[in-house]
Structure 1
């Protein structure tokens, strides 16, 4: 860790754009909330990317895909042939055809890097001077820095422990590395993170704790224990959402657990965070996009209850366009026409055409086709709401019974979750509510709690907190969105700690949504009965006026 000061100055230097952003926004420092400060770090990075088609490559059959079963090879091969087909033939880009070994090579470079330097992403920015220079070291993904930035001094005992953990890791003694990291975490939790904790920014201490958590992740992955690594990956993001490798390691854990849609989203977020925080190395960027593409294709191939079609967005009448897309989809995928749905809220981006700032990415509309009409209709009904719900109850004023929860989970919940995750795998932001992804996960956690699956509930709450912590880095927040974000995170933390005081924010959101559904349905029923009575009255009058002869 001898070079930690230089590395930290480099990452800290990437925050210099914050001051310029503040001047452009003309917002006094005292009025900036924590969330707004996080947003301002990204104002100098363009939100759009250039069109960058991937090079042609041959197709690799499903037999090379890890975790596949022989009896599924036929279905997978057919679905791979249809992948990424849309109304515009330019969308049907070649698939990545990477073997499991090639995927592991990507992960060795992106995920299993053993950093010795703790990145301080949250450090206050400073104005650059003419004497600044860029560091060229093991971390290729940072920008120019200032040598005058004071950095916190890591506690000596903690520093020795982390060096020992790194040595064990490089000697492939991962169990010993986990033991050293456990000691380091204990020291950190007792306040021994820096030499002078009183003078240290809380964000810097969070960066140190996140550094330990992310080391746990790669050790447990090496030990083939992704279940153990999962919560550590979530906590590393909660503590430091501004470090792109934390998101890549979360993606690797999800991939090992065969949760490919969630892994693809984590890789997409990592790509965004990399450029947002000042990463400029083209090689690293291409590797991240390649990794995202491979995982996203894996997600598309694995799903058998639905299939997807991405179509380049062209400005024009949206309603007519959606009807045309449904017609095109039905011709291309006749086995998935029980219900066809085009996501009308926001746009999707694909790794194949997500270039680098400042040029814009290509935007796509996503059309989904389902084998089950019930699941398709529920998804469409839920997606029309500004705030998400996770229930199909018809009696919102009655308490939920255990039998109702089990029936909902079996018939709807576990079947619709993969679809919701897939939609988010190419949708970086949400045009209706920035916190939607976190709310979806918190609804799921409540459902798991009612099913008495406490371990899974805790894991999902950690995942929701990681999603919410990342929100300010993905899109601008209005004041009401910032307040909602703070309330959701506070209630989620209380739930993890076992506090049962009051109703949770997401529970109130769901209750209001169900009541709205109930009232709309009651109104529809009333109007339908009114039309029937009117028609019957007219028919009766006609019969009296013109009696049958």
Structure 2
């Protein structure tokens, strides 16, 4: 009976996710074709120039809010800048030039990551993750209003106090849902986390049946998603309190899918990853949380400082636990040149002599470290990442990163034949234990790069397909949920072209169909891309074999001619 009820709940929850998500996908597809839409997010000329003059429209109402917030901040900054420019333009220019020269001279200097005690990490989680608001508030698209960190460890939420806001402008929550949420919150405060989790699941079921807002037929999909995301985050905190991060993980992913603009959703996901000892992914989630906090108008320096501390701790832990590779970050202020890269590699060989079988320097996108990250000054201080491997086989796949937009890292010598079970197991272990951990580490300090918008997600979807072949359904669902969370966040992190926006929509729709168990006559998008990649690899291999054979044939001919010439001269 309970298993049947659980399946019904899961089905209804998936249904509401699809209903909430598909309008967003359709909207983004429409807006991506409107290059001069008044609702599109405006980007400064400097940002457009640095990203190759690409145009983008972010398809959610929440990010429209960031436009007005950032415009206001930008106008204030411009006024101050103009005033200071008139007073000391030459002095500022001299300082800037000196700073660039200083950073260039530090080209071969590595940046150490100091140890951060576990107590400091737990303090950050208590202040920013395990937050229980006295007044139940939801993640509606409203400006951030922080009152600072209180002595109790609580922080103000996205919503201002009830006495300071006009409730008529906010959606009204369904009364039965509100009662259920208040009862669940009461149990949470009494530390009855298992009971609270059950009541939050009941609230989520009510929400999935349409009891989210007082006027469901007039409600916007964004508002319904905000309420559902709020409930998902409460389930995350309950399961974390119960020390069951494996149960919290999918809820953390779904809260981001429903509301990718709320920084706490990313920070809670980071906390779940930390408990699961997946530190590279925790670091990336913390980095995105810090960026989202700034993007949506967060101005409390103490909050950003705590997030950066958490981000730094996760990077440190990821580096400490890495056994297959070593890492070096090099500050960079000028254009990357080949001689500079060679100089960096020489320094790496001297400082990490045990990791020189394969050395990879990431030139596709510069990296940002939490010690110097300042999103308001674009671009922030950037670093060049160099990785060295003990075993060449562990890092050779990275050669494709610099030459392909959507590389396929799984080697398959016969692309037109089906994989056997043994091949599937071998590829799954290669992707899961060798490729994904390294890619996750690279992305832990890279907000966006010159990669294709979906390149960081495609490998996870390929991995999910391998899990599906082996009928490991639970793991497959977790990987797809994580990939969907990353896809939902992509438009906030970088400019995307119309072609990339369409690919995002197709990937999101196929991922949702896969979670719901829907079969389709068409192949999944990521499988099609993987098949094309395998064929491309096969053609490259044929070309290499042809060139090698041609070179050997030419060498033999030259050798034969030389022998004949020597024979003639002797006679």
| TM-score of the pair, normalised by structure 1 | 0.82
Instruction: Name the counterpart of 1:83.
Output: none
Using the TM superposition, give the Cα deviation of residue 363 of structure 1 relative to its aligned residue in structure 2, in angstroms. Answer: 0.3
Q: SS of 1:545's equivalent?
A: helix
**Conserved? CA contact 2:62–2:261, under 8 Å:** no
Determine if contact 1:142/1:278 at 8 Å carries over to the other structure. Answer: no
Q: Tell me, in whole angstroms, the C-alpha distance in 1 between the residues paired with 2:392 and 2:230.
A: 46
Matched, 1:223 2:239: no
Tell me what 1:128 maps to: none
What is the CA distance between 1:42 and its match in structure 2? 4.4
Provide the C-alpha distance between the structure 2 equivalents of 1:202 and 1:290, rounded to a whole number of angstroms.
35
Q: Does 1:106 align with 2:106?
A: no
Instruction: Kindly report the root-mean-square deviation, in angstroms, between the aligned alpha carbons of the 2 structures.
Output: 3.0
Cα deviations by residue, 1:143-179 (Å, 9 ceiling, x for unpaired): 9997487221100111111111111111111111112
Is 1:538 aligned to residue 558 of structure 2? yes
CA–CA distance in 1 between the matches of 2:159 and 2:35? 24
Residues 267-286 of structure 1 deviation map (CA, whole Å, 9 limit, x = unaligned)? 00000111111111111111
**How far apart, CA to CA, are the structure 1 residues paired with 2:352 and 2:309?**
27
| Contact 2:128–2:155 (CA under 8 A) maintained in structure 1 | no
What does residue 329 of structure 1 align with?
A: 348
Give the one of 55, 59, 62 matched to 1:35: 59
Aligned residues: 483
Question: What is the rounded CA distance, in whole Å, between the counterparts of 2:397 and 2:375 in structure 1?
Answer: 37
- Pairing of 1:270-285 with structure 2 (within 5 A): 270-285=289-304
Q: Deviations over 1:420-449 (max 9, x none)?
A: 110010011131211222212111111222
Change (3 A) 1:317 1:185: closer
Distance 1:150 1:274 in 2: 23
SS, match of residue 280 in structure 1: coil
Is 1:511 the equivalent of 2:536? no
Aligned CA distance change for structure 1 residues 254 and 505 (closer, same or farther; 3 Å): same
Structure 2 CA distance for partners of 1:221 and 1:285, relative to 1, 3 Å:
same
Tell me if the contact between 1:141 and 1:279 (Cα under 8 Å) persists in the aligned partners. no
Distance across 1 between alignment mates of 2:372 and 2:251: 32
Match of 1:234 among 240, 253, 277: 253
The 8 Å contact of residues 461 and 496 in structure 1, kept in 2 or not, is answered as yes
Structure 1 stretches lacking a partner, 5+ long: 1-21, 49-85, 126-132
Relative to structure 1, the CA distance from residue 544 to residue 90 in structure 2 (aligned partners, 3 Å threshold; closer, same or farther) is closer
Corresponding residue for residue 98 of structure 2: none
Trace 1:151-166 onto structure 2 (pairs within 5 A).
Answer: 151-166=170-185
* 1:488 aligns to 2:507 (yes or no): yes
Q: Distance in 1 between matches of 2:109 and 2:349?
A: 20
Write the mapping of 1:111-190 to structure 2, written as runs, cut at 5 A: 111-115=129-133, 116-122=135-141, 136=147, 139-140=155-156, 147=166, 150-190=169-209
Q: Give, in angstroms, the shift of residue 314 of structure 1.
A: 3.1
Structure 1 partner of 2:51: none
2-structure distance, mates of 1:148, 1:25: 35
Answer yes or no: is the 8 Å Cα contact 1:339–1:369 preserved in 2.
yes
Bigger Cα displacement from structure 2, 478-487 vs 178-187: 178-187
CA 122–477 in structure 1, closer or farther in 2 if over 3 Å, else same: farther
Q: 2:14 maps to what in 1?
A: none
Question: Aligned partners of 1:25 and 1:513: how far apart in 2?
Answer: 31
Which structure 2 residues correspond to residues 305-384 of structure 1 after superposition, within 5 A?
305-358=324-377, 360-384=379-403
Relative to its length, the structure with more helix (as a share) is 2
Q: Is the 8 A contact 2:286 2:311 kept in 1?
A: yes
Q: Is the 8 A contact 1:45 1:275 kept in 2?
A: no
The 1:374/1:332 distance shift into structure 2, 3 A limit, reads same
Q: CA deviation at 1:35?
A: 2.7
Q: Could you say if the C-alpha distance between residues 518 and 195 of structure 1 is closer, same or farther in structure 2, counting changes exceeding 3 Å?
A: same
Give, in whole Å, the separation in 2 of the partners of 1:195 and 1:36: 22
Could you tell me how far apart the structure 1 residues matched to 2:429 and 2:172 are? Answer: 53
Shift of 1:40: 5.1
CA 1:506–1:122 in 2, change beyond 3 Å: closer, same or farther? farther
Distance 1:36 1:180, change over 3 A: closer
Q: TM-score, normalised by structure 2?
A: 0.79
Q: 1:328-382, CA deviations, whole angstroms, 9 ceiling, x for partnerless residues?
A: 1010000111100001101110011112514642101100000110121122224
Higher relative contact order (CA 8 A, sep 6+): 1
What is the DSSP-based 3-state SS (H/G/I as helix, E as strand, rest coil) of the residue aligned with 1:251? helix
Distance 1:198 1:106 in 2: 40
**Contact 2:324/2:394 (8 A) holds in 1:** no
Is 1:211 aligned with 2:211? no
Q: Residues 300 and 284 of structure 1: is their aligned pair in 2 closer, same or farther, counting only changes over 3 Å? A: same
Q: Is the 8 A contact 2:424 2:466 kept in 1?
A: yes
Kept in 1: contact 2:415–2:535 (CA 8 A)? yes
CA positional deviation for 1:391 = 0.8
1:529 aligns to 2:555 (yes or no): no
What is the distance in 2 between the residues matched to 1:472 and 1:411? 30
Residue-by-residue CA offset, 1:17-45 (whole Å, 9 max, x unaligned): xxxxx9x9742559997637666554564
Structure 2: which 5+ runs fail to align? 1-31, 42-55, 75-104, 149-153
